Amino acid sequence: MDTTTLKVLVERAEKSKIGQVDFNNLSFGNVFTDHMLVCDYRNGVWETPKVMPYQPISLEPSAKIFHYGQSIFEGMKAYKDADGATWLFRPLENQKRLNISAHRMAIPELPEEYFMEGLKALLRTDEQWIPTSEGSSLYIRPFMLASGTGFHASPANEFKFIIACAPSGSYFSGKVKVLIEEKYSRSANGGVGYAKAGGNYAGQFYPTQLANEKGYQQVIWTDDNNHEYIEEAGAMNIFIRINDTLITGPTSDRILDGITRKSILEIAKDEGIPVEVRKITVSEVVEASKNGTLKEMFGAGTAAVVSPISSFGYRDADYDLPELENSYASRLKKRITDIQYNKAEDKFGWRYKV
């Protein structure tokens, strides 16, 4: 029973753009739905959220987002099942993490009701935009930014919470070749690495460009101290399989607490796959590759779910991963996506019907 008292205002677009979209040829995150959700924070309170036509937002040149980067975001998806019902995957985890990020970035936290009721109102308004073809989904981007003005280096006093959506096809990135980074760091102890702050991602672009120039698609981030420990894969959490054991690093100030990561850990245990959450050194991975015990490496995140790594580069040498028939990556991806699309039992209670 829905007991919410929060009212979400809805202003519908006069004309839909949906007829101009080829849903059989969708790239990732480049086409946007007819509507967006906007909620402003002013005078110490979050105002009434409103679904409105997708449009540019107007900000003063002195808005603090432009000067001090006070912004955070989340990544989610909505799915249609065979009967046309709409589902979300663990949305309250995104809501909780948004507020963890907000707290770290001195942004006022958003009440759960505003997040969930605003999101549901938006999805119901743009329901026809949720793709139904195999592997496609509606990518959802909730974000918050400092709209308050002033050049003083201090937190803003006004903020915007916005949700925008993009129908997206299957995220076929294929297998990727990665470079283990030894100079640049994604984050540091005491920093904001565990928050989904925009600047974390901007700071990755340049080292990734350098890796691209060398023929690699992504960077494997290592710790900021001695570059001794494997931490993340590009903008994703990383998993490493040595023999039959699946290993991933513990979350920390530097590592994002990924929702796909958490889901993989639970599903792996349910499948009887040995799991270790511990620090893993670059030297251990290199040695495992040399002696044949390194079986798989893959990234895990919302967009691709699971992104297999075909080889990694380290100190001017490349190390190839074996081709496996029944990989952990493919098994775990199928388990997650079958839950997301309502194709299989959800014993974990992760599916959320809109």
Q: What is the pTM assigned to this prediction?
A: 0.95
Are 126 and 185 members of one domain?
Answer: no
Position 195 scores a pLDDT of 95
Domain presence at residue 17: yes
Domain presence at residue 33: yes
Read off the pLDDT of residues 333-353 as tens digits, 9 standing for 90 and up: 999 999 999 999 999 999 999
Domain presence at residue 2: no
Domain presence at residue 345: no
Q: Which residues pair with 79 in a beta bridge?
A: 87
User: Which of 2-11, 94-103, 303-312, 330-339 has the least mean pLDDT?
Assistant: 2-11
Domain presence at residue 140: yes
Are 155 and 188 members of one domain?
Answer: no
Are 183 and 310 members of one domain?
Answer: yes
Q: Structural domain of residue 76, as residue ranges?
A: 9-168
3-class secondary structure, 170: coil
Q: How confident is the model at residue 150 (pLDDT cuts 50, 70, 90)?
A: very high
Determine the Cα–Cα distance for residues 158 and 328; give it in Å rounded to an integer: 46
What average pLDDT does the structure give for the chain?
Answer: 95
Q: How confident is the model at residue 171 (pLDDT cuts 50, 70, 90)?
A: confident
Q: What share of the chain is helix, strand, coil (3-state, %, to 5)?
A: 25, 30, 45
3-class secondary structure, 298: strand
Mean pLDDT calculated for residue range 227-243? 95
Are 163 and 219 members of one domain?
Answer: no
Are 240 and 318 members of one domain?
Answer: yes
Are 205 and 300 members of one domain?
Answer: yes
Are 143 and 192 members of one domain?
Answer: no
Position 3 scores a pLDDT of 55
* 202 has a pLDDT exceeding 80: yes
Q: Are strands 35-42 and 317-320 parallel, antiparallel or unpaired?
A: unpaired
Position 172 scores a pLDDT of 59
Count, in order, helices (H) and strands (E) of the chain. 7, 19
Instruction: Determine the length of the chain.
Output: 354
Mean pLDDT calculated for residue range 275-283? 97
Determine the Cα–Cα distance for residues 119 and 161; give it in Å rounded to an integer: 11
Position 1 scores a pLDDT of 42
3-class secondary structure, 154: coil
CATH of the domain at 192: 3.20.10.10
Domain's final residue, options 140, 168, 196: 168
Position 135 scores a pLDDT of 86
Are 284 and 154 members of one domain?
Answer: no
Determine the Cα–Cα distance for residues 55 and 179; give it in Å rounded to an integer: 39
Domain's final residue, options 145, 168, 191: 168
Which candidate, 142, 196, 143, 152, places its Cα nearest to that of 63?
152
Read off the pLDDT of residues 28-67 as tens digits, 9 standing for 90 and up: 899 999 999 999 999 999 999 999 999 999 999 999 999 9
Are 49 and 93 members of one domain?
Answer: yes
Domain presence at residue 1: no
Collect all residues with Cβ–Cβ distance below 8 Å to 317 and sequence separation of at least 6.
none
Q: How confident is the model at residue 116 (pLDDT cuts 50, 70, 90)?
A: very high
Q: How confident is the model at residue 4 (pLDDT cuts 50, 70, 90)?
A: low
Are 188 and 331 members of one domain?
Answer: yes
CATH of the domain at 49: 3.30.470.10
Domain presence at residue 347: no
Domain count for the chain: 2
Domain presence at residue 159: yes
Are 51 and 138 members of one domain?
Answer: yes
Q: On the CB side of 192, how many CA atoms lie within 13 Å of its CA?
A: 21
Tokens describing residue 127: 């329901």
Tokens describing residue 284: 């251990």
Domain's final residue, options 143, 168, 193: 168
Are 96 and 199 members of one domain?
Answer: no
Question: DSSP labels for 32-74?
Answer: --SEEEEEEEETTEE---EEEE-------TTBTHHHH--EEE-
Mean pLDDT calculated for residue range 103-110? 98
Tell me the torsion sign for CA atoms 315, 318, 319, 321: positive
